Amino acid sequence: MNQNKFLAMLSCAALLTVVTAGCSQGQTQTTGGTTPATTDTKPAQTTDSKPADSKPAEMKTLTLLTGTTGTAYPALQAVAADAEKKLNIKIKFDIKPDGTEGDNLVKTRLATGEMSDILFYNSGSLFQALNPEENFVELTKEAYMDKLLDSFKQTVSSNGKVYGVPAGSSNVGGIMYNKRVYSELGLSVPKTWAEFIANSDKIKASGKTAVIGSYKTTWTSQLYVLGNEFNVQAQDASFVQNYTGNKAKFATTPAALRGFEMTAETFAKGYMNKDFLATTYDNALKMLAEGTGVQYPMLTSAVDALAANYPDKIKDIGVFPIPSDNASINGFTVWMPNALYINKKSKNVDAAKKFLDYLISPDGMKAYMSKSKANGPYVIKGINVPDDAYDAIKDMQTYFDAGKTAPALEFVSPVKGPNLESILIEVGTGQKSAADGAADYDKDVKKQAQQLNLTGW
């Protein structure tokens, strides 16, 4: 019979893929794991007994798992090149995909014991999902911990123990805008949502795209909701705690629901580019730089990408907070930098600690900044945003100086559902009302809370 033959062929193919997958797994393991182990086990023991500042006689090799999006990767490479000269530590980079596929890979490699010596990964709720106490080396008692801001430390801590050091600057979520077009149209920075709508109407009337939508890159749909967090915390200080404890909900907290309503209103009023469902993050940045699109709800980490691709346009780019309905409530929601964590199963913990120490030292940060300029203030005491920072970053400084900032929800609560971006695309394309979307998201976070075994869920 035809089918039988075909089935036989299919199972053959399935078997073959299993076999080849197994092989390739084995290969990465040897390149990632055994190379440093064979060269390093002996020197590691000899250098441990020496004082920290003396130079180890032999070169050590560490592996570092990182994604390649943005400027963090070249910046870490610059620090690594320095470390090779000064600390005699060689960093071998191990590349992972970014986004949810990367999350998946990190979890799998931790579970199978194949994690590299150092992991470069998000802080906040994504870090919490990695079961830190089991997987990472505790750094609470390291001398350099005093240098880090407490607001950052809490995002890389679990049960009061600190596990990570920051790479790069913090950044904020807000509305990036094209200053040149703003002044051409005689607009001023909006302090309330009503002013934002008025500005957007004028921009739309001028024939330009008022709000850039880039839903092809799905995570970009979330900025109204996530960036609205400052407004939520300003109006309801107990929201974070109640939300984590399964007492407060997005759908029933008016301040939190606003983010969903903003997403719906932007669509309903037709502010977005016509092909916003096929537009990617990179397309969106191009529109913003060229001024065909004027406002873009985004993280300021985009400033880096803009500077790299449109260096002559970067002075046109500014940023303002997601406006609330009350002009006196106006501030930024802050995203903490990603962090480096040391694998608990690593054979080179001491060398890895030295590298982390170097990274957050003034020399290390100087090397880092040579390849990645500030996207916001730094979370290391004594490291300041340099004077040559971009205009958009300087816009933010006044808010930081006035204390008008709040951390994004994912850095203060481990509860973050995986489907927020898809739900917001449903809301942002009119498939679902803002209230229904918020109610759906409230159900979505339940899965994460239960998976993390939080009390009250």
Partner 1 sequence: MTLSQKKMYSLFFLLPAGIIYFTFYLLPTVMSLFFSMTRWTLTKWTYIGFENYQMFFEETSLRIGFRNTLIYAVVTCGLKVILALLLATLLTSKIWFKDYFRSMVFFPTLLSTIAVGIAFSTMMHPTQGVINTALAAIGIPGPDWLGNTKLALFSVAFIDVWKGVGIATVIYIAGIMSIPQHYYEALRIDGGSKFRSFWHITLPLSRPAMNSVIILSFIGGLRTFDLIWATTRGGPGFSTDLIASIIYKQYQAGFYGLATAGNVILFIGISVLAFPLYMFLNRREVEL
Residue ranges in contact with partner 1 by CB under 8 A: 2-3, 6, 15, 18, 100-101, 103-104, 107-108, 111, 129, 131, 134, 215, 218, 274-275, 277-278, 418-419, 422-423, 425-426, 429, 431-432, 440, 443-444, 447-448, 450-451, 453
Quote the least distance from Cβ 290 to partner 1, whole Å: 16
Quote the least distance from Cβ 148 to partner 1, whole Å: 27
Beta-carbon contacts of 167 under 8 Å, excluding residues fewer than 6 positions away, are: 72, 75, 76, 120, 337, 338, 339, 340, 359, 368
Beta-carbon contacts of 124 under 8 Å, excluding residues fewer than 6 positions away, are: 155, 336, 408, 410, 411, 412
Rg of the chain over all Cα atoms, to the nearest angstrom: 24
Quote the least distance from Cβ 96 to partner 1, whole Å: 13
Quote the least distance from Cβ 134 to partner 1, whole Å: 7
The Cα–Cα gap between 257 and 267 comes to: 16
The Cα–Cα gap between 18 and 221 comes to: 37
- Classify residue 131 as left (phi > 0), alpha (psi -120 to 50) or beta: left
Quote the least distance from Cβ 447 to partner 1, whole Å: 6
Quote the least distance from Cβ 278 to partner 1, whole Å: 5
Amino acid at 231: N
Quote the least distance from Cβ 429 to partner 1, whole Å: 5
Question: Nearer Cβ to partner 1, position 319 or 438?
Answer: 438
Question: Nearer Cβ to partner 1, position 24 or 49?
Answer: 24
The Cα–Cα gap between 375 and 300 comes to: 6
Of 118, 4, 1, the C-alpha closest to 62 is 118
Residue 421: its H or E element: helix 420-428
Amino acid at 306: L
Question: Nearer Cβ to partner 1, position 98 or 201?
Answer: 98
Apex 211 CA angle, 208 and 215, nearest 5: 120
Question: Nearer Cβ to partner 1, position 134 or 150?
Answer: 134
CB-based contact 367:78 (threshold 8 Å): yes
Q: Rounded to whole angstroms, what are the CA distances from 156 to 63, 206, 285, 351?
A: 21, 46, 30, 20
Question: Nearer Cβ to partner 1, position 218 or 253?
Answer: 218
Question: Nearer Cβ to partner 1, position 77 or 419?
Answer: 419
Question: Nearer Cβ to partner 1, position 31 or 108?
Answer: 108
Question: Nearer Cβ to partner 1, position 178 or 283?
Answer: 283
Question: Nearer Cβ to partner 1, position 108 or 238?
Answer: 108
Quote the least distance from Cβ 443 to partner 1, whole Å: 6
Question: Nearer Cβ to partner 1, position 283 or 300?
Answer: 283
Quote the least distance from Cβ 131 to partner 1, whole Å: 7
Q: Rounded to whole angstroms, what are the CA distances from 421 to 44, 166, 293, 438, 442?
A: 45, 26, 22, 12, 13
Beta-carbon contacts of 295 under 8 Å, excluding residues fewer than 6 positions away, are: 175, 176, 177, 178, 199, 200, 203, 210, 211, 212
Residue 231: its H or E element: helix 229-235
Residue spans of beta strands (DSSP E) within 67-141: 89-95, 118-121
Question: Nearer Cβ to partner 1, position 186 or 207?
Answer: 207
Residue 84: its H or E element: helix 72-86
Question: Nearer Cβ to partner 1, position 42 or 274?
Answer: 274
Quote the least distance from Cβ 285 to partner 1, whole Å: 17
Quote the least distance from Cβ 351 to partner 1, whole Å: 27
Apex 404 CA angle, 299 and 364, nearest 5: 55
The Cα–Cα gap between 192 and 322 comes to: 8
Quote the least distance from Cβ 409 to partner 1, whole Å: 17
